[in-house]
Amino acid sequence: MSENGERMMPGKGLLDGLAVTLKTLTRRAGTQQYPDVQPDLPPRSRGVIALSEENCTVCMLCARECPDWCIYIDSHKEEVVVPGAARARQRNVLDRFDIDFSLCMYCGICIEVCPFDALHWTPEFEYAETDVLDLLHDKNRLGEWMRTVPPPPAHDVLGEPSKEEATAARKAAGPGAATAAKTARPAAVRTTPGTPAAPAPPPTPVTPPEPRPSAEEPGPEAGR
């Protein structure tokens, strides 16, 4: 019986299923033979996270903002002697930078909050392990993923310039460029010889206001 209460022909469901099968058999299969054929991933796919150790300043922002607490950082301070300085300066030296990908939820917060572009997304996803403890990647292994980081997309010519480009343009123009642009007068309109210039608009006549009688002077109806 159908949903409307009508009696169905015996074997109609089987025929409908065979029709779908025959229709599928005539189409070309779209299955990719992975791993022989690598998938075409989108440019912003989220795979493993790469670390650029020379950009890391051990600010701990990524470890503090991580909702899973899967980033472990250790460091120590070293004194750097600067020629001409009154005293030696200190800098942080990175000793340990580990990411536990068995806990990572791939939210991307650590990459967004990094102020010096030390963390990057890579499209690599083939890092499965037979032991869950091997999913803890240290700074050396995270640094090896940097070779797979794709280059940034080209800047849109119609879009706004980046902060770095705007700052470089201001420095190249010099400190007096902005002041000169503000105080510059508009250039005079050039006319072709032999072409009469457009006449200036006539001045608008100003009608003086009528004088009002003073309170001390009696009006014309005061004597009536």
Q: Please indicate if the annotation marks 70 as binding a ligand.
A: no
C-alpha 223: how far from chain center = 85
Cβ atoms of 10 and 88 closer than 8 Å: no
Q: Alpha helices, DSSP H only, in the chain?
A: 12-25, 61-65, 109-113, 139-144, 163-173, 177-183
CA dist 46 and 125 (Å) reads: 8
Tell me how far apart the alpha carbons of residues 52 and 139 are, in angstroms, rounded to a whole number. 9
Task: Establish whether 110 is an annotated binding residue.
Answer: yes
| Bond preceding residue 35 cis, omega within 30 of 0 | yes
* Residue pair 70/99 in contact by the 8 Å Cβ criterion: yes
Q: How far apart are CA 34 and CA 40, in angstroms?
A: 11
Q: How many other CB atoms are there within 10 angstroms of residue 5's CB atom? A: 6
Which residues contribute to the annotated binding site for [4Fe-4S] cluster?
56, 59, 62, 66, 104, 107, 110, 114
Residue stretches of the annotated binding site = 56, 59, 62, 66, 104, 107, 110, 114
